[in-house]
Structure 1
Amino acid sequence: MQPIRCLAAAVAYLAVLAAPSAAGLPGLPLPVQQEGAVYRVLHWVLALWLVREINSLLNAWAENNWIFRSGKGSWDWPQETAVVTGGAGGIGAIVVQRLLSHGVTVAVLDVQPLSDIFTPEERKRIKLYHCDVSSPDAVHKAAEALRSDHASPSILINNAGIGRGNTILETPPERLQRVMGINLLSQWYTIQEFLPDMLKKRKGHIMSTASMSAFVAMAGQADYAATKAGLMALHESLTAELKHLYKCPEIKTTVVFPTWTRTALTAPLEKGIRSSGAAMVDPKDVAELMVSQILAAKGGRLIWDPIGVVPAIRALPIWAQALIHDHLAQVAIGNEITGIAK
């Protein structure tokens, strides 16, 4: 659709350029005194539309690793195996359900039992591997069992994550290591386990669940936000290595940035979130966005930001960034700090 929209914008803009005035455009019989103003408005509106569509087209091309063709033809969903960390509950469980509905074989790496949202039929089709993803040995053991039970996975969704609100001074070392291990280091371990087989097949998709906290860290959330910013760096480095080191741009990488999502972990913070003016989204919507990206065989960044301003916050003047941080400070520290997550 993007090439079609870009072509339509180009045709409309060229039509305006070719017309000597607004009166020369079909369907616009205007008084002479209004022709100049209408022509100028049309000229700039269509020019901006064309620039926007060209930018979108270039973004899509870049996110597809500068490959023109779609990679959807190489995927046969009933023949694919996906690994979902943290897939026993929350957003991950809904992602598992969506993948199952398309015939994908799903393996879940989690320390929790499967959620009650799964039907008996879905439970029969899910292979649950009890695995502490913060342990490289546990991840290797689960990966070996998975490869013995199924084909090597072509899809890796790193969704496991925890978060608890603590100030920097109140964060005990064991807690900090746990958050870093599950949210960030685990993704090194799973990528190291499953990427080599993807490289052999020259096909795969690696998806990481980050958070808007990667762009805007809040008081009482330093450990969580640091891991999510780290995931953004991991995604960018992995994408570059696949293209330039392994010469395998066919393997897609996606990093997801949900906003506040209505889960059990965000329940203690709902009052603060509402007072900040931020909206909360349904986990089903986030899961649908993630699975749609997999099915489209697209890579890139999925940012839950309808008006597209959050990633640009880092480019704002320091005083503007300070005002935003001040506004958001009470979301965590203004509530009982018991649990915080994407």
Structure 2
Amino acid sequence: MSGVELYANELINYAQEHPCLTVIFVILVLKKLFNLFKRGKSLKDEVVFITGAANGIGRSTAIRMAKLGAKVAIADIDIKKAEQTAKEILDLKQRAIAVHCDVTSIESVNKATEFVRSHLGNPTILINNAGIVSGKSITELSYEAIERTFKVNAISHFYTIKAMLPDMLKANKGHIVTIASVAGLGGVSKMTDYCASKYAAVGIDDSLRNELRQQKSAVKTTCVCPYYINTGMFDGVSTKFTFLLPMLKEEYVSEQIVEAIRYNVPIIMMPRIMYLAIFLKGLLPTCAIDIIGEILGLQESMETFKGRA
């Protein structure tokens, strides 16, 4: 028997022993091949409104989209940093403006939307990226901190969507992106407020996608669910098995976000092993999932949390 035949037999035996893993692997490969032959939509002249775009993945996504020809609104509560990010884009000979936006304020969101309309045009892509994390146990959280986490991470999405979706529906064109988290798919110790708010963000996206489908609208949605990212927001967190659950790089995440927008991908999870994790969560009993989480060190990950200075 040749080496190729031996290798083929090993693959067949593995597939028979691990059918679930094989199915997931095949789906991911087919999806990648499909995208290779499918032409992604152009971002040229799209008007992109990104909240929390002065720092982190919001900033890197804004720069990446501007390089592809989009007109980008850097919306952030920190207007000085927003102006710095806009200047970086302008220095690249691309188009961008900075706009002050407190996503917890309906008035501020509406004012920012009107400012962008008057300078760039109606937003055609909305990226709800602004987010905060407390990193405290539930007994240590103040009521004010809990409410603010929900306002920034979830309720603000209603404000921005209601401000920009009507124009998208009229044009029958647009894209709404929700930057959620794998924390919106499974709970983690010392993140009760954060996880709950991200569960809400995932729910908003899920319901909105179906609402748009029901209306036969061409407006698309994408939900982004990454693991910890090295932006500074989760500075100090520990990850036990980095080969399985690495700290994600900011540039990689922003690249995946832009690719998901261009190919109208409804939901993406990073790293890819999270697809398997969510599959197992629905398959295995809760006690088994809890034990796996402990083995992987997930429930200890926030013990060393410091956060952005």
Is TM (by shorter chain) over 0.5? yes
Q: 1:84, 1:107 within 8 Å by CA — same for their partners in 2?
A: yes
Tell which structure's C-alpha radius of gyration is larger: 1
In structure 1, the residue matched to 2:251 is: 284
Work out which of the residue numbers 252, 257, 263 in structure 1 matches 2:220: 252
Give CA-to-partner distance per residue, 1:206-235, whole Å, 9 cap, x none: 111111111222111111111111111111
Q: Is the Cα–Cα contact under 8 Å of residues 50 and 128 in structure 2 kept in the other structure?
A: yes
* Structure 1: tracts of 5 or more residues without a match: 1-22, 61-69
Offset, 1:114: 2.7
**Other-structure match for 1:121:** 91
Give the deviation of 1:50 after TM superposition.
10
Distance in 2 between the 1:324 and 1:215 partners?
A: 15
Assess if the C-alpha contact under 8 Å between 2:63 and 2:89 holds in 1: no
Q: 2:125 aligns with which of 152, 155, 158?
A: 155
Shifted more, 51-60 versus 201-210: the winner is: 51-60
Deviations 1:277-317 (A, max 9, x none): 53112100000111112223x13111113333221243221
TM-score norm. by structure 2 comes to 0.82
User: Does 2:148 correspond to 1:181?
Assistant: no
Between the aligned residues of both structures, percent identity stands at 30
Q: Aligned partners of 2:212, 2:288: CA distance in 1, in Å?
A: 37
Q: Deviations over 1:126-182 (max 9, x none)?
A: 211111001111111111221122211111111110112111111111111111111
Q: Where does 1:222-233 land on structure 2 (aligned, <5 Å)?
A: 222-233=192-203
Matched AA of 2:269: I
The aligned residue for residue 4 of structure 1 is: none
Gap change, CA 1:288 and 1:140, over 3 Å in 2: same
Pairing of 1:244-323 with structure 2 (within 5 A): 244=214, 246-248=215-217, 250-269=218-237, 273-275=238-240, 277=242, 278-296=245-263, 298-307=264-273, 308-315=275-282, 316-323=284-291
Aligned residues: CA RMSD: 3.4
In structure 1, what is the equivalent of residue 190 of structure 2?
Answer: 220
Q: 1:29 to 1:167 in 2, by over 3 A?
A: closer
Gap regions ≥5 residues in structure 2:
33-37
Counterpart position of 1:194:
164
Determine the C-alpha separation between the residues in 2 that align with 1:213 and 1:194.
27
Q: Using the alignment, how far apart are the partners of 2:204 and 2:252 within structure 1?
A: 25
The alpha-carbon deviation at position 338 of structure 1 amounts to 4.0
Secondary structure of the residue that 2:301 maps to in structure 1?
A: helix
Shift of the 92–123 alpha-carbon distance from structure 1 to 2, 3 Å rule, reads farther
In the alignment, residue 101 of structure 1 is paired with which amino acid? K
1:82 aligns to what?
Answer: 48
Q: Residues of 2 paired with 1:262 and 1:317: CA distance?
A: 32
- 3-state DSSP of counterpart to 2:239: helix
TM-score normalised to structure 1 length: 0.74
The separation in 2 between residues aligned to 1:95 and 1:29, in whole angstroms, is: 43
Whether the 8 Å contact between 1:131 and 1:139 is mirrored in structure 2 is yes
Structure 2: how far apart are the matches of 1:293 and 1:58?
Answer: 16
Give, in whole Å, the separation in 2 of the partners of 1:230 and 1:133: 16
Provide closer, same or farther for how the CA distance between residues 76 and 219 of structure 1 changes in structure 2, counting only shifts above 3 A. closer
Cα distance in 1 for residues equivalent to 2:251 and 2:222 = 18
One-letter code aligned to 2:216: K
**2 CA distance for matches of 1:323 and 1:29?**
39
Aligned-residue offset at 1:95:
0.4
Distance in 2, matches of 1:305 and 1:251, equals 27
- CA gap 1:29/1:134 in 2 versus in 1, 3 angstroms: closer
Find out whether 1:97 has 2:63 as its counterpart: yes
Contact 1:109 1:133 in 2 (8 A): no
The CA deviation at 1:276 is 5.8
Q: How many residues align?
A: 290
1:186 is displaced (CA, Å) by 0.7
Q: Which amino acid aligns with 1:98?
A: R
